[in-house]
Structure formats: C-alpha cells, structure tokens
C-alpha cells in the first residue's frame, strides 16, 4: 500500500468512526447545517463498512445499513419536479425540517459529480433499492442542465460545471455535452496559464477545483480527454505546491472560512498528497479527500517538500471586478521553518473573507499557525473572534523574511488595527513584541500603544490610532544560532535595539516606515501620502518593480 493510500484510509477510518458515533436527528440525518455533510460522512461510513482490508470499530452490517439509510434520506430531498426552477437540486440548510427546506444551487455542483464517482466505486455493493435511487437522482441531475452555462468568470463554479459536462456527457452518451465540456476544459486551462487563478488562495474553492477535475479524470474513458484532465490537475497541484508549507497555505487568501484563520484547518487533501504534518483531530471539510486522489507530478511534490533553501515566488494575476480588469501581484517567501507572503494590492472579494498578508508556520493542530495584522473592514465581527474581513486601508512592502505594513485611516473610520500572534512564548515591551513559536523567532514592531487578549490558540493584539505602522521580521532558530542568538532572551536583546522608524503627519495624513533588516541588512522604506493613496516602496533605495512579475508559475 502506498503512503497516499494509507493516509486516505486514515481519513476514511476517522470520518466513518465520527459518523458511526453521531446520533441521528429525528429527520433521519446527522446534520441540518449543510446537507452535503450528511452525504460525505455516509459515503465514508459505507466505504469503511465494505473495505475487506480494514477492521472498522463498528459492526460492518450495522454500519453499512446506517450509511445506506442516511444516503437514502439525502437522495429523497432532491427536487424532482421537472417544471421547478430548482429541478435536480437539493436544499443546503435543512432547518426547520428538511422537507420544508428550499432547494439551493450549491449542493449539486460538486455533490452531483461525486455521486457519479460513488456509484462507479460502490454501485454493485449498494442495496438494489439504493442503487436505483442513485441512478434516478443522477438522471435528474443530468436532465436539470444546471451545468449548461458558458465560461465567463473562470471560477470554481464554472470549473465544476465543466467537470459535470464531461462526467454526465460520457455517462449518458451526450456527445454534444461532452464536446462542450472538453472545449471548456481547454479554455479554462489556457486561461489559468495565461492570466493566473483569480481565486488566489481561496478555500474551500481551490479544493473544489481539484475534486471536480479529479472526479472527471477518475471516471474518464476517453484517453485523450483523460490526458487533458491530467494537464489541468498537474497545473493545479503545481500551483498548490508553490504556496505550500507543511500543511499551510502561504500568502494572500481571497477568502477562507473561519476555521482557516488564524489556523490552516482545511488540510485533508494536503495530508494525503504530502503528509509532512500530523493530521489534526478536527476535520471541518471532509468532502471526498479520503476517497478521491490524483498524484501530483514529481516536480510539484519536490517543490512542496524540499525547503532546504529559501525560495521566492512572484506571480501576476488578472482579475476582473465590477467589469474592471485589474493586474494583481502575489509574493511568497518560503524557508524550512516559516513562510511569508501576500498580495501587493487590495481588492474587494466575496464576503470580504480575505487575508491580505500573513506569516505561516507548520500546521499545529488546534493552535494558530498564522501571524498577521489587519484593519477590520466590511463583515468583521466586533467580538474579535473572526480575524478576517480586512479593510482597504493598508499598504504593504514585502522583502524575504520581512513584512512592512502601514494603516493610514481616514476620519470617521474606527482606529483599531488588529494583530494575530500564534500561541507560543512571547515577550511584550514598549517598542516591540518578540516571540518564539515552534522553530521560528519573530520580532514584531508596532508604532502605537497596544493591548493583548488571549484567544483560542492565538493572541489578539489591538493597536490604537489613525496612523499605525507594523514591521515583522522572522528568523529560523538555526539561522539565529549562526548569528550567536542562543535563545529568546538573546533574541529580545538583539532585536529591541533594531526597531524601525515610524513617522506620521496628522495634517497631511502621511505615514512612513523605514527598517533595516537584521538578517540581511537591507534598507526598506514604505511611504504613504494619505488614506487611500498608493504607497511608494523602496528596497535599498530602488523602487519596487511590480511589472517584473509574470503570469507563469
């Protein structure tokens, strides 16, 4: 058994045990928050119950019966009224009762294709009644035509439509649909190669790309189309490897669920593919990570797992927002102990669930593994337990292991900048915050007074003022040792005298930050003339040239 197969079985085993222990609600389902969770966990329970090579922690017959019962309840909730505008769809949220829940456009996008894959793998082992129900549900999915849409946004929805066109076109002998899916696949891959992925670092969307095309690849009988699907998946996994660091996703996130800030938790696909971190106890997004797999190219795996030398990644992305095309620039710096990165520009994103820049540490279970600062914007929860939703009032400068950020805030905007520090050993002084987390030292300089609150797995820093500047420099313990820094006390003494220079002008709104990096002695300068104005950035007196960033990986 290969390592990836062993890791998939670990996920199946854990998910199946969770499903077996989960009490059924009166509706005959486990969850009402998202119908897809019922489908995913029932799939895992069935897979574990029929696996002859595993000894499940429950009676096989009873586990199989329970899985089939839940799968049947899920299928029964499909809208099968041909005249309905939501024909072929399922509800998403199921409260107050599943039968009264309105069908939603999202569940079928990925779940429909995964149902075809489940039938391919387990159809002969299902009870005749349930197998017939699956066939009936899939025929309604096919006839619904939800996926018959042209390419416009080249986003995760359209990626799933493209995969569905291929899967259903092949399944039902629809040559026209299949040809449309193949052309969409070609156009999508060409777009990614030419203009980058506009949904940069977006979870769980990226994994929906991966699962949809992996599902199509696994089911594909046409050798030429299967090879084209391999090209797409190789590209996706190369992209993932570029921003991969021991389970974390380095750099800016266009969106992320709450469980992915300030800790990377949507890690099951990474665990199967790379396996260089311990599988966390919590699995907030199981989907089909334990059942569906495509091996990344060797070059991508090498890039992801070999971090003996620091590496930079610079990429351009073309994104259209409100009809206006914008060229964005992404930066990442990865070492063997930490990684840093972000987006130079700030753009409006879906639900504003974004992170502009951050430092990443290896996945640490329930502990935070991200460090970043942001000014709260639209959608921010004032309780402070949702550290996402960043405003537009930020300018940044990235250079290797250092991030310089300034927050010039206009009148009328709440003057509090929030910081996230991963749980570790921290020292707080008037002119700096210094800490050791795992195998990394951090020096964090904040231009204004600050307070610190303890949160679950991380610390929240609150800095007050209309003109706030932040500089962070990270250093791996081995590198620090080479410089004579024996421990955190030595690091604090060294870096306290190395503080940056912040200046602000209340009259003009101008804020400047200058810092000479300790690790390399490079002079960094970030100057912003006022709120909403672009920043000027220099490295050793030379202006940062973003036009040098290319679209290629």
Contact 181, 228 (CB under 8 A): no
More confident call, 136 vs 386:
136
63, burial (CB in 10 Å: exposed 0-12, middle 13-18, buried 19+): buried
**Residue at 533 is within a domain:** yes
**Residue at 129 is within a domain:** yes
pLDDT of residue 345: 95
Q: At what angle do helices 205-219 and 223-242 cross, to 10 degrees?
A: 150
Starting at the earlier edge strand, list the strands of the sheet with 542-543. 501-505, 510-516, 523-528, 535-539, 542-543
pLDDT confidence tier of residue 321, bands split at 50, 70 and 90: confident
pLDDT of residue 116: 98
**Residue at 207 is within a domain:** no
CA distance 516 to 231: 44
Give the three-class secondary structure for 230: helix
**Residue at 293 is within a domain:** no
Domains: count for the chain: 2
pLDDT of residue 552: 66
C-alpha torsion angle, residues 314, 320, 326, 328 (rounded to 10): -20
Nearest CA to 360 out of 474, 241, 488 is that of 474
Share of the chain above pLDDT 90, in %: 93
pLDDT of residue 75: 98
Share of the chain above pLDDT 70, in %: 100
Any residues with CB less than 8 A from the CB of 388 and at least 6 apart, and which? Answer: 256, 258, 261, 352, 353, 354, 355, 379, 380
pLDDT of residue 415: 87
Helix (H) / strand (E) element for 9: namely helix 3-21
pLDDT confidence tier of residue 382, bands split at 50, 70 and 90: confident
**Residue at 169 is within a domain:** no
Boundary (domain end) residue, out of 115, 145, 175:
145
C-alpha pair distances (Å), 244 with each of 240, 270, 370, 465, 498: 6, 9, 13, 35, 31
Nearest CA to 197 out of 158, 236, 230, 164 is that of 236
* pLDDT at 384 > cutoff 80: no
Dihedral over Cα of 140, 146, 147, 150: its sign: positive
Q: What are phi and psi of 120, to 5 degrees?
A: -60, -40
Residue 279, number of CB atoms within 10 A of its CB: 18
DSSP 49-105: HH-TT---SS-HHHHHHHHHHHHHHHHHTS---TTSTTTT-EES---S-GGGSPEES
Each residue's pLDDT tens digit, 480-536: 999 999 999 999 999 999 999 999 988 888 999 999 999 999 999 999 998 988 899
CA distance 422 to 441: 12
CA distance 404 to 501: 11
pLDDT of residue 553: 60
**Residue at 419 is within a domain:** yes
498, burial (CB in 10 Å: exposed 0-12, middle 13-18, buried 19+): middle
C-alpha torsion angle, residues 224, 230, 232, 238 (rounded to 10): -150
**Residue at 77 is within a domain:** yes
Q: What is the radius of gyration, based on Cα positions, of the chain?
A: 25
Q: What are phi and psi of 142, to 5 degrees?
A: -60, -50
Average pLDDT over residues 237-255: 97
CA distance 63 to 12: 13
Range of the domain at 410: 367-546
* pLDDT at 308 > cutoff 90: no
**pTM score over 0.85:** yes
Average pLDDT over residues 222-237: 98
**Distance spanning both ends of the chain, measured CA to CA:** 32
**Residue at 423 is within a domain:** yes
pLDDT of residue 15: 98
Q: Where are the beta strands (DSSP E) in 305-429?
A: 311-321, 324-334, 339-343, 357-360, 370-374, 395-399, 402-408, 416-422, 425-429
Each residue's pLDDT tens digit, 40-60: 999 999 999 999 999 999 999
CA distance 406 to 418: 12
Contact 80, 92 (CB under 8 A): no
Q: What are phi and psi of 164, to 5 degrees?
A: -65, -40
CA distance 493 to 546: 36
Nearest CA to 545 out of 316, 370, 362, 352 is that of 316
Nearest CA to 64 out of 134, 132, 127 is that of 127
How much is the mean pLDDT over the chain? 96
* pLDDT at 109 > cutoff 80: yes
Helix (H) / strand (E) element for 451: namely strand 450-454
Boundary (domain end) residue, out of 82, 112, 145:
145
CA distance 192 to 318: 10
Boundary (domain end) residue, out of 80, 115, 145:
145
Residue 401, number of CB atoms within 10 A of its CB: 25
Average pLDDT over residues 193-219: 97
Give the three-class secondary structure for 173: coil
Average pLDDT over residues 415-438: 96
């Amino acid at each position: 058994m290969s390592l990836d197969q062993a890791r998939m079985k670990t996920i199946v085993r854990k998910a199946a045990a969770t499903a077996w222990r989960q009490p059924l609600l009166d509706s005959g389902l486990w969850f009402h928050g998202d119908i897809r969770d019922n489908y995913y966990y029932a799939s895992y329970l069935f897979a574990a119950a029929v696996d002859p090579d595993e000894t499940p922690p429950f009676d096989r017959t009873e586990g199989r019966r329970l899985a089939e019962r839940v799968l049947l309840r899920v299928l029964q909730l499909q809208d099968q009224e041909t005249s309905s505008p939501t024909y072929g769809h399922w509800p998403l949220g199921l409260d107050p009762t599943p039968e009264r829940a309105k069908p939603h456009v999202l569940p079928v996008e990925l779940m429909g294709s995964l149902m075809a894959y489940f039938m391919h793998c387990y159809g002969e082992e299902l009870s005749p009644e349930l197998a017939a129900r699956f066939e009936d549900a899939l025929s309604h999915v096919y006839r619904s035509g939800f996926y018959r849409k042209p390419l416009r946004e080249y986003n995760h929805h359209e990626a799933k439509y493209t995969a569905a066109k291929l899967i259903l076109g092949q399944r039902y002998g629809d040559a026209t649909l299949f040809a449309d899916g193949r052309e969409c696949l070609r156009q999508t891959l060409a777009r990614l190669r030419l203009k980058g992925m506009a949904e940069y670092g977006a979870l769980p969307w990226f994994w929906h790309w991966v699962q949809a095309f992996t599902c199509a690849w696994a089911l594909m009988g046409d050798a030429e189309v299967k090879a084209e699907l391999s090209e797409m998946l190789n590209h996706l996994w190369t992209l993932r490897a570029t921003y991969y660091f021991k389970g974390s996703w380095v750099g800016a996130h266009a969106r992320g669920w709450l469980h992915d800030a300030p800790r990377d938790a949507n890690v099951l696909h990474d665990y199967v593919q790379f396996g260089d971190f311990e599988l966390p106890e919590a699995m907030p997004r199981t989907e089909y990570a334990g059942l569906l797999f495509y091996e990344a190219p060797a070059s991508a795996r090498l890039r992801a797992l070999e971090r003996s030398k620091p590496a930079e990644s610079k990429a351009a992305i073309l994104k259209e927002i409100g009809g206006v095309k914008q060229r964005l620039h992404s930066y990442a710096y990865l070492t063997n102990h930490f990684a840093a990165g972000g987006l130079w520009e700030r753009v409006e994103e879906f639900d504003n669930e974004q992170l502009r820049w951050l430092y990443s540490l290896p996945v640490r279970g329930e502990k935070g593994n991200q460090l970043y600062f942001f000014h709260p914007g639209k959608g921010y929860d004032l309780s402070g337990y949702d550290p996402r939703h960043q405003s537009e009032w930020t300018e940044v400068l990235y250079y290797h292991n250092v991030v310089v950020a300034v927050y010039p805030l206009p009148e009328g905007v709440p003057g509090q900048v929030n910081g996230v520090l991963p749980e570790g050993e921290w020292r707080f002084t008037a002119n700096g915050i210094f800490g050791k987390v795992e195998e990394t030292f951090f020096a964090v300089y904040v231009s204004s007074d600050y307070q610190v609150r303890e949160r679950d797995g991380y610390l929240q820093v609150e800095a007050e003022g209309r003109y706030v500047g932040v500089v962070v420099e990270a250093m791996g313990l081995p590198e620090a040792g080479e410089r004579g820094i024996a421990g955190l006390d030595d690091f604090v003494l060294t870096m306290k005298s190395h503080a940056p220079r912040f200046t602000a002008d209340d009259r003009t709104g101008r804020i400047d930050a200058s810092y000479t990096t300790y690790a390399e002695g490079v002079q960094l300068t970030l100057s912003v003339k006022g709120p909403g104005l672009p920043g000027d950035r220099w490295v050793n007196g030379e202006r940062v040239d973003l036009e040098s960033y290319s679209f290629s990986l």
